[in-house]
Amino acid sequence: MDPYITEWLNLILRFAHVITGIAWIGASFYFVWLDNHLEKPPQWKSDKGIGGDLWAIHGGGFYEVAKYKHAPEQMPKLLHWFKWEAYSTWLTGFVLLALMFYLGAETYLIDPSVSDISPALAITIGLASIAGGWLVYDLLCRTKLSEHGVVLGIILMVLICGLSYVLSQTFSARGAFMHVGAVVGTIMAGNVFFTIMPSQRALVSSVEKGEPVDPSWGAKAKLRSTHNTYATLPLIFIMISNHYPMIFNHQYNWAVLMVIFIITAAIRQYFVARHKGNENKMVLVAAALLTVALMIAIAPKKIETSAQTPQNTIEVAQVKSIINERCTACHSKKNTDQIFTVAQGGVILDTLDDMKRWAPRIQARAIDAKDMPFINKTKMTGEERSYIAQWIAQGANVK
Ligand code: HEC
Protein backbone atom coordinates (compact mmCIF):
# COMPACT_ATOMS: atom_id res chain seq x y z
CA MET A 1 0.00 0.00 0.00
CA ASP A 2 1.14 3.57 -0.64
CA PRO A 3 2.95 4.70 2.57
CA TYR A 4 1.02 7.97 2.47
CA ILE A 5 -2.31 6.14 2.59
CA THR A 6 -1.05 3.81 5.34
CA GLU A 7 0.04 6.85 7.32
CA TRP A 8 -3.44 8.37 7.09
CA LEU A 9 -5.13 5.12 8.06
CA ASN A 10 -2.71 4.83 10.94
CA LEU A 11 -3.52 8.38 12.07
CA ILE A 12 -7.29 7.91 11.87
CA LEU A 13 -7.25 4.54 13.62
CA ARG A 14 -4.86 5.66 16.34
CA PHE A 15 -6.87 8.80 17.00
CA ALA A 16 -10.08 6.76 17.23
CA HIS A 17 -8.37 4.19 19.43
CA VAL A 18 -7.16 6.83 21.87
CA ILE A 19 -10.57 8.52 22.02
CA THR A 20 -12.53 5.30 22.56
CA GLY A 21 -9.89 4.14 25.04
CA ILE A 22 -10.31 7.33 27.04
CA ALA A 23 -14.08 6.80 27.06
CA TRP A 24 -13.72 3.19 28.20
CA ILE A 25 -11.09 3.75 30.84
CA GLY A 26 -12.70 6.98 31.97
CA ALA A 27 -16.02 5.21 32.56
CA SER A 28 -14.22 2.34 34.27
CA PHE A 29 -12.30 4.69 36.61
CA TYR A 30 -15.48 6.58 37.33
CA PHE A 31 -17.54 3.52 38.27
CA VAL A 32 -14.78 2.06 40.45
CA TRP A 33 -14.54 5.43 42.18
CA LEU A 34 -18.31 5.59 42.50
CA ASP A 35 -18.64 2.13 44.00
CA ASN A 36 -15.94 2.86 46.54
CA HIS A 37 -17.43 6.17 47.64
CA LEU A 38 -21.03 5.11 48.22
CA GLU A 39 -22.38 5.89 51.65
CA LYS A 40 -25.20 4.48 53.73
CA PRO A 41 -28.35 6.15 52.43
CA PRO A 42 -31.03 7.80 54.58
CA GLN A 43 -33.87 5.54 55.76
CA TRP A 44 -36.39 6.56 53.09
CA LYS A 45 -33.93 5.54 50.41
CA SER A 46 -33.09 2.26 52.16
CA ASP A 47 -36.79 1.49 52.20
CA LYS A 48 -36.78 1.72 48.40
CA GLY A 49 -33.96 -0.84 48.22
CA ILE A 50 -31.14 1.66 47.70
CA GLY A 51 -27.94 0.28 49.21
CA GLY A 52 -25.62 3.24 48.77
CA ASP A 53 -25.84 6.85 47.76
CA LEU A 54 -23.55 9.66 46.84
CA TRP A 55 -23.66 13.34 46.09
CA ALA A 56 -21.33 15.09 43.69
CA ILE A 57 -20.91 18.42 42.00
CA HIS A 58 -19.55 18.72 38.49
CA GLY A 59 -19.78 21.23 35.68
CA GLY A 60 -22.01 23.52 37.72
CA GLY A 61 -24.64 20.97 38.70
CA PHE A 62 -25.46 18.70 41.64
CA TYR A 63 -25.68 14.96 41.02
CA GLU A 64 -27.40 12.46 43.24
CA VAL A 65 -26.37 8.90 42.54
CA ALA A 66 -28.09 5.92 44.09
CA LYS A 67 -27.05 2.29 43.80
CA TYR A 68 -29.65 -0.39 44.43
CA LYS A 69 -28.76 -3.30 46.66
CA HIS A 70 -30.32 -5.74 44.24
CA ALA A 71 -32.53 -4.12 41.65
CA PRO A 72 -35.19 -1.44 41.34
CA GLU A 73 -38.80 -2.56 41.76
CA GLN A 74 -39.51 -1.58 38.20
CA MET A 75 -37.15 -1.45 35.28
CA PRO A 76 -36.57 2.15 34.20
CA LYS A 77 -37.69 3.05 30.69
CA LEU A 78 -34.19 3.91 29.64
CA LEU A 79 -31.20 2.02 31.03
CA HIS A 80 -27.70 3.09 29.96
CA TRP A 81 -25.20 0.36 29.21
CA PHE A 82 -21.46 0.83 28.92
CA LYS A 83 -20.19 -1.53 26.31
CA TRP A 84 -19.43 0.27 23.07
CA GLU A 85 -16.53 2.06 24.72
CA ALA A 86 -14.87 -1.31 25.27
CA TYR A 87 -15.82 -2.86 21.93
CA SER A 88 -14.77 0.12 19.87
CA THR A 89 -11.47 0.40 21.72
CA TRP A 90 -10.75 -3.25 20.95
CA LEU A 91 -11.85 -3.00 17.33
CA THR A 92 -9.83 0.12 16.53
CA GLY A 93 -6.85 -1.36 18.37
CA PHE A 94 -7.06 -4.63 16.51
CA VAL A 95 -7.30 -3.00 13.09
CA LEU A 96 -4.40 -0.70 13.96
CA LEU A 97 -2.33 -3.69 15.07
CA ALA A 98 -3.14 -5.50 11.83
CA LEU A 99 -2.34 -2.44 9.71
CA MET A 100 1.02 -1.79 11.32
CA PHE A 101 2.30 -5.14 12.48
CA TYR A 102 0.63 -7.57 10.08
CA LEU A 103 0.39 -5.67 6.79
CA GLY A 104 3.78 -4.23 7.69
CA ALA A 105 5.09 -7.43 9.30
CA GLU A 106 8.48 -7.19 7.62
CA THR A 107 8.91 -3.61 8.78
CA TYR A 108 7.54 -3.73 12.32
CA LEU A 109 7.01 -7.26 13.55
CA ILE A 110 9.99 -9.26 12.36
CA ASP A 111 13.50 -8.56 13.55
CA PRO A 112 15.85 -10.98 11.75
CA SER A 113 18.42 -10.60 14.53
CA VAL A 114 15.86 -11.98 17.01
CA SER A 115 14.20 -14.60 14.84
CA ASP A 116 14.18 -14.74 11.06
CA ILE A 117 10.63 -15.99 10.54
CA SER A 118 8.35 -15.49 7.57
CA PRO A 119 5.59 -12.87 7.73
CA ALA A 120 2.94 -15.61 7.52
CA LEU A 121 4.40 -17.44 10.52
CA ALA A 122 4.86 -14.22 12.48
CA ILE A 123 1.25 -13.18 11.90
CA THR A 124 0.02 -16.66 12.83
CA ILE A 125 1.99 -16.55 16.09
CA GLY A 126 0.67 -13.06 16.79
CA LEU A 127 -2.97 -14.01 16.23
CA ALA A 128 -2.55 -17.29 18.09
CA SER A 129 -1.09 -15.54 21.11
CA ILE A 130 -4.05 -13.14 21.23
CA ALA A 131 -6.71 -15.84 20.88
CA GLY A 132 -4.77 -18.32 23.04
CA GLY A 133 -4.21 -15.71 25.73
CA TRP A 134 -7.93 -15.15 26.04
CA LEU A 135 -8.78 -18.88 26.00
CA VAL A 136 -6.28 -19.77 28.71
CA TYR A 137 -7.35 -16.85 30.87
CA ASP A 138 -11.04 -17.61 30.46
CA LEU A 139 -10.51 -21.27 31.28
CA LEU A 140 -8.58 -20.44 34.44
CA CYS A 141 -11.34 -18.11 35.60
CA ARG A 142 -13.86 -20.90 35.21
CA THR A 143 -11.97 -23.24 37.53
CA LYS A 144 -12.06 -23.35 41.32
CA LEU A 145 -9.16 -20.89 41.23
CA SER A 146 -11.71 -18.14 40.78
CA GLU A 147 -12.46 -18.49 44.50
CA HIS A 148 -8.83 -17.75 45.36
CA GLY A 149 -8.32 -14.30 43.90
CA VAL A 150 -4.72 -13.80 44.97
CA VAL A 151 -3.51 -17.22 43.81
CA LEU A 152 -5.23 -16.71 40.47
CA GLY A 153 -3.68 -13.25 40.21
CA ILE A 154 -0.19 -14.65 40.78
CA ILE A 155 -0.72 -17.44 38.24
CA LEU A 156 -1.90 -14.91 35.67
CA MET A 157 1.18 -12.75 36.29
CA VAL A 158 3.49 -15.73 35.83
CA LEU A 159 1.72 -16.63 32.58
CA ILE A 160 1.96 -13.07 31.26
CA CYS A 161 5.65 -13.07 32.16
CA GLY A 162 6.16 -16.33 30.26
CA LEU A 163 4.28 -14.96 27.27
CA SER A 164 6.35 -11.76 27.22
CA TYR A 165 9.52 -13.80 27.34
CA VAL A 166 8.47 -16.05 24.46
CA LEU A 167 7.28 -13.12 22.35
CA SER A 168 10.48 -11.17 23.05
CA GLN A 169 12.40 -14.10 21.56
CA THR A 170 10.12 -14.21 18.52
CA PHE A 171 9.24 -10.67 17.46
CA SER A 172 10.90 -7.30 17.24
CA ALA A 173 10.95 -5.58 20.63
CA ARG A 174 8.07 -3.29 19.65
CA GLY A 175 6.13 -6.20 18.20
CA ALA A 176 6.55 -8.23 21.39
CA PHE A 177 5.43 -5.39 23.65
CA MET A 178 2.47 -4.55 21.47
CA HIS A 179 1.35 -8.19 21.45
CA VAL A 180 1.48 -8.44 25.23
CA GLY A 181 -0.67 -5.31 25.20
CA ALA A 182 -3.02 -6.87 22.66
CA VAL A 183 -3.40 -9.98 24.81
CA VAL A 184 -4.17 -7.95 27.94
CA GLY A 185 -6.53 -5.65 26.02
CA THR A 186 -8.32 -8.61 24.45
CA ILE A 187 -8.79 -10.20 27.87
CA MET A 188 -10.25 -6.95 29.16
CA ALA A 189 -12.61 -6.47 26.22
CA GLY A 190 -13.42 -10.20 26.26
CA ASN A 191 -14.40 -9.87 29.90
CA VAL A 192 -16.88 -7.18 28.96
CA PHE A 193 -18.26 -9.08 25.97
CA PHE A 194 -18.35 -12.65 27.25
CA THR A 195 -18.96 -12.26 30.96
CA ILE A 196 -19.92 -8.83 32.20
CA MET A 197 -22.54 -8.12 29.52
CA PRO A 198 -24.21 -11.56 29.69
CA SER A 199 -24.34 -11.31 33.46
CA GLN A 200 -25.99 -7.92 33.23
CA ARG A 201 -28.45 -9.17 30.64
CA ALA A 202 -29.36 -12.02 32.98
CA LEU A 203 -29.79 -9.54 35.79
CA VAL A 204 -32.09 -7.32 33.75
CA SER A 205 -34.16 -10.22 32.52
CA SER A 206 -34.64 -11.59 36.07
CA VAL A 207 -35.80 -8.17 37.19
CA GLU A 208 -38.19 -7.87 34.27
CA LYS A 209 -39.67 -11.27 34.99
CA GLY A 210 -39.78 -10.56 38.71
CA GLU A 211 -37.61 -13.62 39.40
CA PRO A 212 -34.85 -13.81 42.03
CA VAL A 213 -31.40 -12.94 40.68
CA ASP A 214 -28.85 -15.74 40.36
CA PRO A 215 -25.88 -14.49 42.47
CA SER A 216 -23.31 -16.58 40.56
CA TRP A 217 -23.56 -14.19 37.60
CA GLY A 218 -22.68 -11.25 39.76
CA ALA A 219 -19.69 -13.05 41.29
CA LYS A 220 -18.32 -13.94 37.86
CA ALA A 221 -18.69 -10.40 36.61
CA LYS A 222 -17.07 -9.04 39.76
CA LEU A 223 -13.94 -11.20 39.35
CA ARG A 224 -13.53 -10.12 35.73
CA SER A 225 -14.06 -6.49 36.44
CA THR A 226 -11.51 -6.64 39.26
CA HIS A 227 -8.99 -8.05 36.78
CA ASN A 228 -9.85 -5.27 34.36
CA THR A 229 -9.25 -2.67 37.04
CA TYR A 230 -5.73 -3.92 37.74
CA ALA A 231 -4.86 -4.48 34.10
CA THR A 232 -5.74 -0.92 33.09
CA LEU A 233 -2.55 0.90 34.06
CA PRO A 234 -0.14 -1.78 32.79
CA LEU A 235 -2.06 -1.74 29.52
CA ILE A 236 -1.83 2.02 29.14
CA PHE A 237 1.85 1.78 29.94
CA ILE A 238 2.42 -0.70 27.12
CA MET A 239 0.58 1.57 24.73
CA ILE A 240 2.90 4.50 25.45
CA SER A 241 6.05 2.39 25.88
CA ASN A 242 6.68 2.66 22.14
CA HIS A 243 8.11 6.09 22.83
CA TYR A 244 10.65 4.75 25.30
CA PRO A 245 13.19 2.47 23.61
CA MET A 246 15.26 2.37 26.83
CA ILE A 247 12.45 0.13 28.07
CA PHE A 248 11.12 -1.84 25.14
CA ASN A 249 14.51 -2.33 23.52
CA HIS A 250 16.30 -3.44 26.68
CA GLN A 251 17.94 -6.84 26.55
CA TYR A 252 15.63 -8.06 29.30
CA ASN A 253 12.61 -6.10 28.12
CA TRP A 254 10.20 -8.87 29.17
CA ALA A 255 11.45 -8.70 32.77
CA VAL A 256 11.36 -4.91 32.73
CA LEU A 257 7.76 -5.10 31.56
CA MET A 258 6.85 -7.38 34.47
CA VAL A 259 8.37 -4.96 36.97
CA ILE A 260 6.31 -2.19 35.39
CA PHE A 261 3.19 -4.39 35.62
CA ILE A 262 3.80 -4.72 39.34
CA ILE A 263 4.49 -1.00 39.84
CA THR A 264 1.44 0.19 37.91
CA ALA A 265 -0.93 -2.42 39.34
CA ALA A 266 0.24 -1.42 42.83
CA ILE A 267 -0.54 2.22 42.07
CA ARG A 268 -4.03 1.24 40.94
CA GLN A 269 -4.43 -0.77 44.14
CA TYR A 270 -3.41 2.28 46.17
CA PHE A 271 -6.13 4.38 44.59
CA VAL A 272 -8.80 1.71 44.95
CA ALA A 273 -7.96 1.36 48.66
CA ARG A 274 -7.83 5.13 49.04
CA HIS A 275 -11.36 5.55 47.68
CA LYS A 276 -12.48 3.12 50.33
CA GLY A 277 -10.78 5.23 53.00
CA ASN A 278 -8.01 2.77 53.85
CA GLU A 279 -5.14 4.02 51.77
CA ASN A 280 -1.67 2.78 52.52
CA LYS A 281 0.97 5.32 51.54
CA MET A 282 3.65 2.65 51.80
CA VAL A 283 2.31 1.15 48.58
CA LEU A 284 3.13 4.40 46.78
CA VAL A 285 6.53 4.63 48.46
CA ALA A 286 7.31 1.03 47.47
CA ALA A 287 6.20 1.72 43.88
CA ALA A 288 8.43 4.81 43.76
CA LEU A 289 11.43 2.92 45.17
CA LEU A 290 10.91 0.10 42.70
CA THR A 291 10.81 2.66 39.88
CA VAL A 292 14.14 4.13 40.99
CA ALA A 293 15.63 0.64 41.32
CA LEU A 294 14.46 -0.17 37.79
CA MET A 295 15.92 3.08 36.49
CA ILE A 296 19.30 2.18 37.95
CA ALA A 297 19.13 -1.45 36.86
CA ILE A 298 18.51 -0.69 33.19
CA ALA A 299 20.83 2.33 32.86
CA PRO A 300 22.90 2.08 29.65
CA LYS A 301 26.50 1.06 30.12
CA LYS A 302 29.05 3.80 29.58
CA ILE A 303 31.15 3.19 26.51
CA GLU A 304 34.89 2.93 27.13
CA THR A 305 36.34 5.86 25.26
CA SER A 306 39.87 7.02 25.86
CA ALA A 307 41.41 3.58 26.37
CA GLN A 308 40.84 2.18 22.88
CA THR A 309 40.61 5.28 20.78
CA PRO A 310 42.66 8.30 21.73
CA GLN A 311 41.03 11.71 21.42
CA ASN A 312 42.46 12.76 18.07
CA THR A 313 41.70 9.60 16.11
CA ILE A 314 38.00 10.32 15.67
CA GLU A 315 37.50 11.69 12.20
CA VAL A 316 34.40 13.64 11.44
CA ALA A 317 34.47 12.44 7.85
CA GLN A 318 34.13 8.93 9.17
CA VAL A 319 31.27 9.98 11.49
CA LYS A 320 29.48 11.57 8.57
CA SER A 321 29.91 8.51 6.42
CA ILE A 322 28.57 6.18 9.14
CA ILE A 323 25.49 8.32 9.74
CA ASN A 324 24.88 8.75 6.04
CA GLU A 325 25.13 5.07 5.43
CA ARG A 326 23.06 3.93 8.42
CA CYS A 327 20.60 6.71 9.12
CA THR A 328 19.79 8.98 6.21
CA ALA A 329 17.70 6.39 4.36
CA CYS A 330 14.98 7.38 6.84
CA HIS A 331 16.29 10.70 8.15
CA SER A 332 16.89 12.94 5.20
CA LYS A 333 15.26 15.67 3.18
CA LYS A 334 15.20 13.01 0.48
CA ASN A 335 14.60 9.64 2.14
CA THR A 336 15.49 6.58 0.10
CA ASP A 337 13.69 4.00 2.24
CA GLN A 338 10.65 2.45 0.51
CA ILE A 339 8.46 2.43 3.62
CA PHE A 340 9.67 5.45 5.59
CA THR A 341 9.44 7.99 2.83
CA VAL A 342 9.77 11.21 4.83
CA ALA A 343 12.26 12.18 7.56
CA GLN A 344 11.11 10.10 10.54
CA GLY A 345 10.39 11.82 13.82
CA GLY A 346 11.28 15.08 12.05
CA VAL A 347 14.95 14.13 12.38
CA ILE A 348 17.11 15.10 9.39
CA LEU A 349 20.73 13.97 9.46
CA ASP A 350 22.04 15.17 6.09
CA THR A 351 24.83 17.48 7.18
CA LEU A 352 27.41 17.44 9.97
CA ASP A 353 25.62 20.39 11.55
CA ASP A 354 22.40 18.37 11.64
CA MET A 355 24.28 15.51 13.28
CA LYS A 356 25.73 17.80 15.91
CA ARG A 357 22.34 19.32 16.65
CA TRP A 358 20.79 15.88 17.07
CA ALA A 359 23.76 14.41 18.94
CA PRO A 360 21.88 13.93 22.25
CA ARG A 361 19.05 12.06 20.50
CA ILE A 362 21.51 10.05 18.39
CA GLN A 363 23.11 9.08 21.68
CA ALA A 364 19.73 8.11 23.17
CA ARG A 365 18.55 6.03 20.24
CA ALA A 366 21.63 4.65 18.46
CA ILE A 367 24.02 4.32 21.39
CA ASP A 368 22.02 3.80 24.60
CA ALA A 369 18.78 2.13 23.56
CA LYS A 370 20.15 0.84 20.23
CA ASP A 371 16.68 0.86 18.65
CA MET A 372 17.96 3.06 15.80
CA PRO A 373 18.44 2.29 12.96
CA PHE A 374 14.88 1.01 13.05
CA ILE A 375 15.09 -2.76 13.68
CA ASN A 376 18.65 -2.25 12.45
CA LYS A 377 17.41 -2.22 8.88
CA THR A 378 20.62 -0.61 7.65
CA LYS A 379 22.76 -3.07 9.62
CA MET A 380 24.76 -0.73 11.81
CA THR A 381 27.63 -2.52 13.54
CA GLY A 382 28.70 -2.37 17.17
CA GLU A 383 32.02 -0.71 16.18
CA GLU A 384 30.15 2.00 14.35
CA ARG A 385 28.00 2.66 17.40
CA SER A 386 31.01 3.03 19.64
CA TYR A 387 32.73 5.25 17.08
CA ILE A 388 29.73 7.61 17.11
CA ALA A 389 29.56 7.32 20.90
CA GLN A 390 33.14 8.50 21.20
CA TRP A 391 32.55 11.36 18.82
CA ILE A 392 29.63 12.50 20.99
CA ALA A 393 31.60 11.92 24.20
CA GLN A 394 34.29 14.22 22.84
CA GLY A 395 31.82 17.01 22.25
CA ALA A 396 30.45 16.13 18.81
CA ASN A 397 32.79 18.49 17.03
CA VAL A 398 31.82 19.52 13.58
CA LYS A 399 35.16 20.72 12.25
C1 HEC B 1 14.61 2.14 8.45
C2 HEC B 1 14.34 3.45 8.86
C3 HEC B 1 15.20 4.12 9.90
C4 HEC B 1 16.56 4.19 9.96
C5 HEC B 1 17.58 3.58 8.99
C6 HEC B 1 16.87 5.02 11.10
N7 HEC B 1 15.73 5.43 11.69
FE8 HEC B 1 15.55 6.75 13.24
N9 HEC B 1 13.53 6.67 13.11
C10 HEC B 1 12.81 5.80 12.31
C11 HEC B 1 11.41 5.88 12.67
C12 HEC B 1 10.31 5.06 12.04
C13 HEC B 1 11.29 6.84 13.69
C14 HEC B 1 10.00 7.31 14.38
C15 HEC B 1 9.52 6.38 15.42
C16 HEC B 1 10.30 6.41 16.68
O17 HEC B 1 10.69 7.51 17.16
O18 HEC B 1 10.55 5.34 17.22
C19 HEC B 1 12.63 7.32 13.94
C20 HEC B 1 12.94 8.28 14.86
C21 HEC B 1 14.22 8.67 15.18
C22 HEC B 1 14.54 9.74 16.08
C23 HEC B 1 13.53 10.73 16.65
C24 HEC B 1 12.93 10.38 17.93
C25 HEC B 1 13.73 10.80 19.09
O26 HEC B 1 13.97 9.93 19.92
O27 HEC B 1 14.11 11.97 19.21
C28 HEC B 1 15.90 9.79 16.18
C29 HEC B 1 16.75 10.74 17.00
C30 HEC B 1 16.43 8.77 15.32
N31 HEC B 1 15.38 8.11 14.71
C32 HEC B 1 17.78 8.52 15.14
C33 HEC B 1 18.29 7.64 14.20
C34 HEC B 1 19.69 7.42 13.99
C35 HEC B 1 20.80 8.09 14.76
C36 HEC B 1 19.81 6.53 12.97
C37 HEC B 1 21.07 5.94 12.40
C38 HEC B 1 21.99 5.38 13.32
C39 HEC B 1 18.46 6.19 12.54
N40 HEC B 1 17.58 6.87 13.32
C41 HEC B 1 18.17 5.32 11.50
C42 HEC B 1 13.32 5.02 11.31
C43 HEC B 1 14.67 4.89 11.01
243-287 pLDDT, tens digit each: 999 999 999 999 999 999 999 989 988 988 888 888 889 999 999
Do 266 and 222 fall into the same domain?
A: yes
In a domain, 153, yes or no: yes
Q: How many domains does the chain contain in total?
A: 2
Distance separating alpha carbons of residues 142 and 32, to the nearest angstrom? 24
pLDDT above 60 for 14: yes
- Buried b / exposed e over 83-101, threshold 16 CB at 10 Å, is eebbebbbbbbbebbbbbb
Name the residue among 377, 379, 381 with its Cα closest to residue 339: 377
Average pLDDT score over the chain? 92
Residue, of 220 and 14, whose pLDDT is higher: 14
The answer to whether the CB of 220 is under 6 A from ligand 1 is no
Q: What is the mean pLDDT of residues 57-69?
A: 95
In a domain, 114, yes or no: yes
Largest Cα separation within the chain, whole Å, is 88
Do 287 and 363 fall into the same domain?
A: no
Do 249 and 283 fall into the same domain?
A: yes
Ligand 1, atom 27: closest residue by C-alpha:
361
- pLDDT of res. 220: 86
Q: 172 C-alpha vs ligand 1 centroid, how far in Å?
A: 15
Of 297, 320, 340, which one is at a domain's C-terminal end?
Answer: 297
Question: What's the pLDDT band for 10 if we cut at 50, 70, 90?
Answer: very high
- pLDDT of res. 207: 86
Of 250, 265, 297, which one is at a domain's C-terminal end?
Answer: 297
Do 241 and 357 fall into the same domain?
A: no
Kindly give the number of the ligand 1 atom that is closest to the alpha carbon of 346.
23
329-380 pLDDT, tens digit each: 999 999 999 889 899 999 999 999 999 999 999 999 999 989 999 999 999 9
- pLDDT of res. 310: 58
The answer to whether the CB of 377 is under 6 A from ligand 1 is yes
pLDDT above 60 for 12: yes
Do 184 and 103 fall into the same domain?
A: yes
The share of the chain scoring above pLDDT 70, in percent, equals 97
Do 101 and 213 fall into the same domain?
A: yes
pLDDT above 80 for 162: yes
In a domain, 165, yes or no: yes
The answer to whether the CB of 268 is under 6 A from ligand 1 is no
Do 116 and 154 fall into the same domain?
A: yes
Distance separating alpha carbons of residues 354 and 348, to the nearest angstrom? 7
The answer to whether the CB of 380 is under 6 A from ligand 1 is yes
Ranges of H-type helices in the chain: 3-37, 43-47, 84-97, 119-142, 149-168, 173-190, 197-209, 215-241, 245-248, 253-275, 281-297, 316-326, 352-357, 359-362, 382-393
Count of other CB atoms within 10 angstroms of residue 45: 16
pLDDT above 80 for 303: no
In a domain, 268, yes or no: yes
Do 359 and 260 fall into the same domain?
A: no
- pLDDT of res. 108: 93
In a domain, 191, yes or no: yes
Of 253, 273, 297, which one is at a domain's C-terminal end?
Answer: 297
Contacts of 168 (CB under 8 A, 6+ apart): 114, 176, 253, 254
The answer to whether the CB of 368 is under 6 A from ligand 1 is no
Do 273 and 358 fall into the same domain?
A: no
Residue, of 169 and 311, whose pLDDT is higher: 169
- pLDDT of res. 268: 86
Do 293 and 326 fall into the same domain?
A: no
In a domain, 37, yes or no: no
Residues in the chain: 399
- pLDDT of res. 208: 87
Domain extent for 324:
311-393
Question: What's the pLDDT band for 218 if we cut at 50, 70, 90?
Answer: confident
Do 170 and 283 fall into the same domain?
A: yes
Question: What's the pLDDT band for 212 if we cut at 50, 70, 90?
Answer: confident
Partner residues linked to 39 by β-bridges: 53
In a domain, 50, yes or no: no
Q: 248 C-alpha vs ligand 1 centroid, how far in Å?
A: 15
In a domain, 17, yes or no: no
Pocket test for ligand 1, best of 107, 328, 330, 332 (most atoms within 8 A of CB): 330
- pLDDT of res. 395: 84
Q: 346 C-alpha vs ligand 1 centroid, how far in Å?
A: 9
100 CA to centre of own chain: 16
Name the residue among 283, 269, 187 with its Cα closest to residue 228: 187
pTM: 0.88
- pLDDT of res. 231: 93
The answer to whether the CB of 226 is under 6 A from ligand 1 is no
Distance separating alpha carbons of residues 252 and 261, to the nearest angstrom? 14
Do 222 and 120 fall into the same domain?
A: yes
- pLDDT of res. 201: 92
